Structure 1
Amino acid sequence: MTPDIEIRNETKNDIEEIAEVTIAAFRDLDISNQTEHVIIDALRAAEALALSLVAVLDGRVVGHIAFSPVVLSDGTRDWYGLGPVSVLPQVQRRGIGQALVREGLSRLEGMQARGCCLVGHPEYYRRFGFENCPQLVLEGVPPEVFFAVSFDGTLPQGTVVFHEGFGAVGPSSCANEV
Structure 2
Amino acid sequence: MSLNIRNELPEDSKRISAVTAQAFEREAHSSHTEQFIVDALRQAGQLTVSLVAVVNDEIVGHVAISPVTVSSGAAGWYGLGPISVLPELQGLRIGSSLMKTALAKLQSKGANGCVVLGNPDYYGRFGFKAHAGLELTGVPQEYFQTLSFGGELPTGTVQYHESFDATE
Per the TM alignment, residue 87 of structure 1 is displaced from its structure 2 partner at its CA by 0.0
Inter-partner Cα distance in structure 2 for 1:152 and 1:75? 18
4+ runs deviating over 6 angstroms:
none
Could you tell me which runs of 5 or more consecutive residues in structure 1 were left unpaired when the two chains were aligned: 172-178
- 2:75 aligned partner: 77
Amino acid at match of 2:29: I
- 2:9 aligned partner: 11
- 1:175 aligned partner: none
Inter-partner Cα distance in structure 1 for 2:96 and 2:61? 11
1:25-104 alignment, distance < 5 Å: 25-104=23-102
1:136-147 alignment, distance < 5 Å: 136-147=134-145
Inter-partner Cα distance in structure 2 for 1:164 and 1:148? 20
- 1:168 aligned partner: 166
- 1:120 aligned partner: 118
Amino acid at match of 2:4: E
Per the TM alignment, residue 31 of structure 1 is displaced from its structure 2 partner at its CA by 0.5
Inter-partner Cα distance in structure 1 for 2:139 and 2:16? 26
- 2:153 aligned partner: 155
CA RMSD of aligned residues (A): 0.7
**Alignment partner of 1:128: what SS?**
coil
Per the TM alignment, residue 13 of structure 1 is displaced from its structure 2 partner at its CA by 1.1
What's the % identity of the aligned pairs?
48
Inter-partner Cα distance in structure 1 for 2:89 and 2:54? 11
Superposition TM-score, scaled by structure 1 size? 0.93
Amino acid at match of 1:46: A
- 2:133 aligned partner: 135
Per the TM alignment, residue 90 of structure 1 is displaced from its structure 2 partner at its CA by 1.1
Per the TM alignment, residue 153 of structure 1 is displaced from its structure 2 partner at its CA by 3.3
For each residue in 1:59-105, what CA deviation from the matched residue of structure 2 results, as whole angstroms up to 9, or x when unmatched? 00000000000001111111100000000011110000000000000
**Alignment partner of 1:70: what SS?**
strand
Amino acid at match of 1:62: V
**Alignment partner of 2:62: what SS?**
strand
Paired residue total? 168
Inter-partner Cα distance in structure 1 for 2:46 and 2:76? 13
More relative contact order in 1 or in 2 (CA 8 Å, sep 6+)?
A: 1
Amino acid at match of 1:101: M
Inter-partner Cα distance in structure 2 for 1:154 and 1:57? 38
